[in-house]
Amino acid sequence: MSDTRVDSAKGFSVESLTANPRQARKERLIRDSLGATALVSVLISGLIIWSLFSEAWTFMVEVDWGSVWDIGWFPRRGIYDIKTLIVASLIVTGIAMIVAGPLGLGAAIYLSEYARPGVRRTLKPILEILAGIPSVVLGFFALEWIAPNVVKTLFGGPAAGSLLAAGIGVGVLVVPLVASISEDAMKAVPMSLREASSGLGARKITTTIRVVLPAAVSGLMAAFIVAVSRALGETMVVFMAGGAAQTAVYTHDPLEGSLPLTAGMTSLARGTDSVVGEGLTFQSLFFVGLLLFVVTFALNVVADRFVHRVREQY
Amino acid sequence: MEQAEPEASPRLGLDIDRTMQAAVPNSTGDTVFEVEDLNVYYGDFRAVQDATFTVYEHEITAMIGPSGCGKTTVLRCFNRMNDLIPTARVEGRLDFRKVPIYDPRVDPVEVRRRIGMVFQKPNPFPKSIYDNIAFGPRVCGMAKKKSDLDDIVEQSLNRAALWDEVKDRLKDSALGLSGGQQQRLCIARAIAVDPDVLLMDEPCSALDPIATARIEDLMQEIKNDYTIVIVTHNMQQAARISNRTAFFTAQLDSITDQRCGLLVEYDRTETIFSNPSDERTENYVTGRFG
């Protein structure tokens, strides 16, 4: 059959359908170099994890584990009380989310459901500019304004740095993040669902709570996760306004000063002499880094599972 | 105007049962909507110009016409759905049971609870079948007890001829249903709040002929209890199911130089299809639209 076909079309063979070898080589080259760029990012991630792990491993092997559960964080004296850092981190993140959750979600609901187009066009870019404020500026703001005006006046805390001041500062920092991602998620909910709801006699707030928010839940969850990760990883604000430098005694009182994970790392890494302390000081830096990595990673996994379970597909 | 030609249009092969048309069941002849000089604007653009017609109780009123003729816009005025579009503006008189629904004291939410709507594309909520039907009754606070709600859900699905197909999977997602089932679900959802009127915006345009036939049967069954206004692109559909037909067309507005929706003719359906008084109507229903 194929014989007759080839015969009938003179000079027509597999060769006439074969790609130009130069073209094919070029195509392969493009594919391989693009693959290589993807590989590089994987490689870098791997290297980071490896360097983190190897030094942290040294720490874990050589440390006296009794010093990891002690009265506070005094790395240069060989006291590495991890719970001091973790509790401080959790308090700061918790406070930040208490501030940023309602503010961010409220702003998102207003922008997506209530604001007239003109208002939205003005407010959204302003919100996004807010996200670009350097965290060192917000650190100053937390120390110089939030601490004396909010923490001292409202909560009777110190006018200097405290976990509460740092938490509120970080909260302000992540509000635009929460608002922006949540608003995108809510805008992505089809108009037809809002119409269906209004058509059934639902008020705007009912439509928002019972239709738009459930349909946008995966995006809202994403906003929440990104915000928590950002708050956990935020360094400058907590270091400046956290009310402790270099060392901290364990506390779970937000009105006192303490060192969250990132602030602990900063004080360790700061200056040339800081990390040359006794024994494992240098390695403890990596151990804390590893902890931060594990916490953030676990959070992402849990949240991902959650999103898959509760999300309403549309 | 009310006198129709005795024979149906042979050109369309329509077989309109005139006795059925004449004796509309439960028809009280009461008016549901009175529209007078209705103008609808989107910003500066006038979408509908000076529409005047009346919708009667327990009838199916069809609105036909080419795309962009404003028929959907008019439909969305009936339950103030256009309020959701920030730039939309409605002028003229639109009375629902003698009440001007564009009066500033009128709450559009109250209007929509009495006037249900079914949309062009089936738009079930991404929730269970049960929760879709229960949404309206819950929002309106219609059911005090769980058993009341169960009853409403069953009745509504029954009336939408969907109960037998879904009764074993009420907790499943409504998005797992076929397109036709989804649209019947949307009809069930709309009648679950027991509205006075049902507005339907091309409810069959996304459906195959079999699903379309089921929806049409359904409309004939429920029109004893509701007044239905339907927008359709399908002239045969209008001819098959409606008692009255409004023909809209788009015409160039000489002042603004924009195309604007215009109500050309409104009459009993058999008159529109067999003996229209306007040439544009005749051209459209005979397929010679130009």
Q: In this structure, are A242 and A95 located in the same domain?
A: yes
Looking at residue A243, its pLDDT comes to 85
A114 shares its domain with A237 = yes
Q: Do B125 and A196 touch (CB under 8 A)?
A: yes
Shortest alpha-carbon distance between residue B1 and chain A (Å): 34
Task: State the nearest Cα–Cα gap between A198 and chain B, in angstroms.
Answer: 7
DSSP-assigned beta bridge partners for residue B200: B118, B230
Its ipTM equals 0.82
Separation of alpha carbons A116 and A125, rounded Å? 15
Q: What is the pLDDT of residues A262-295, one digit of tens each?
A: 988 888 877 544 555 556 778 888 889 998 988 8
- Write out the residue range of the structural domain in which residue A189 sits: 67-310
Cβ-nearest to B193 among A196, A200, A312: A200
Please tell me the pTM assigned to this model. Answer: 0.80
Residue A169 and residue A293 share a domain:
yes
Q: Closest approach of chain A CAs to the CA of B40, in angstroms?
A: 19
Of residues A199, A206, A312, nearest to B81 (C-beta): A199
- B84, closest residue in chain A (CA to CA): A195
Distance from CA of A174 to the nearest CA of B (A): 30
Residue A201 has its nearest CB partner, among B84, B121, B139, at B139
Domain final position from A5, A30, A62: A62
A214 reaches B (C-beta below 8 A): yes
pLDDT at residue B62 in the model: 94
For an interface test with B, give the residue of A116, A119, A200 to mutate (most B CBs within 10 A): A200
**Angle in degrees, 0-180, between the axes of helices B179-191 and B209-222, rounded to the nearest 10:** 20
Map residue A291 onto helix, strand or coil. Answer: helix
Residues facing residue B46 across a β-bridge? B41
Closest of B54, B176, B190 to residue B112, by C-alpha? B190
SS3 A253: coil
Same domain for A144 and A200? yes
- CB contacts of A203 in chain B (<8 Å) are 109
B109 interfaces chain A, CB cutoff of 8 Å: yes
Taking the Cβ of residue B112 and every Cβ of chain A, the question of whether any pair is shorter than 8 Å is answered with: yes
- Does residue A76 fall inside a structural domain? yes
Q: Which of residues 127-156 of B touch A (CB under 8 A)?
A: 127, 135-136, 139-140
A28 lies in the same domain as A166:
no
User: What's the CATH number where A153 sits?
Assistant: 1.10.3720.10
| Same-domain pairing of A41 and A101 | no
Residues 6+ apart with CB under 8 A from A97: A171, A174, A224, A227, A228, A231
Task: Examine residue A220 and state whether it is found in any structural domain, yes or no.
Answer: yes
Backbone angles phi, psi at B230, to 5 degrees: -125, 135
Q: pLDDT tens digit string along A225-248?
A: 889 988 999 999 999 998 887 788
Nearest to A198 among B112, B140, B175 (CB): B112
Give the start-to-end residue ranges of the domains of chain B: 18-285
The percent of residues above 90 in pLDDT, for chain A, comes to 42
The answer on A132 and A41 residing in a single domain is no
Burial class (CB in 10 A: 0-12, 13-18, 19+), A65: exposed
* Chain A residues with CB-CB distance to B116 below 8 A: 199-200
Which of A196, A206, A313 comes nearest B123 by C-beta? A196
Domain check: are A105 and A243 in the same one?
yes
CB-CB: which of A116, A200, A214 is closest to B189?
Answer: A200
Query: Can you give the pLDDT at residue A66?
Result: 81
**Rounded Cα distance, A207 and B79, in Å:** 17
| Domain B18-285 -> CATH class | alpha beta
Name the stretches of chain B with pLDDT < 70: 1-29, 256, 289-290
The tokens for A61 are 């092997």
- The answer to whether the CB atoms of B84 and A214 lie below 8 A apart is no
- A201 and B140: CB-CB below 8 Å? yes
Q: Look at residue A38 in the predicted model and tell me its pLDDT.
A: 95
Overall domain count for chain A: 2
Q: How far is B49 from chain A (nearest CA, A)?
A: 25
Say how far apart CA B134 and CA A200 lie, in whole Å.
Answer: 11
Tokens 């209008």 identify what position? B238
Closest-CA residue in chain B for A118? Answer: B86
Q: Is residue A77 part of a domain?
A: yes
Mark the ranges of chain A whose per-residue pLDDT is less than 50.
1-4, 272-273
Residue type, A292: L
Q: Looking at beta carbons, which residues of chain B come within 8 Å of A199?
A: 79, 81, 112, 116-117, 119, 190
Count CB atoms within 10 A of the CB of residue A125.
10
Tell me whether residues B190 and A117 touch, CB distance under 8 A: no
In order, the DSSP letters of A196-265 are HHHHTT--HHHHIIIIIHHHTHHHHHHHHHHHHHHHHH--HHHHHHSS--S-EE----TTS----HHHHH
Same domain, A28 and A111: no
Cβ–Cβ < 8 Å for A217, A310: yes
Q: Are residues A172 and A128 in the same domain?
A: yes
Binary contact (A211, B125; C-beta < 8 A) = yes
**Do A158 and A34 share a domain, yes or no?**
no
User: Residues of A with CB below 8 A from B110's CB?
Assistant: 201
| Residue A253 falls inside a structural domain | yes
Same-domain status, A167 and A274: yes
Q: Is B264 at the interface with chain A, CB within 8 A?
A: no
Query: What was the pLDDT predicted at B6?
Result: 43
Q: Could you give the CA distance from residue B166 to residue B164 in angstroms, rounded to a whole number?
A: 6
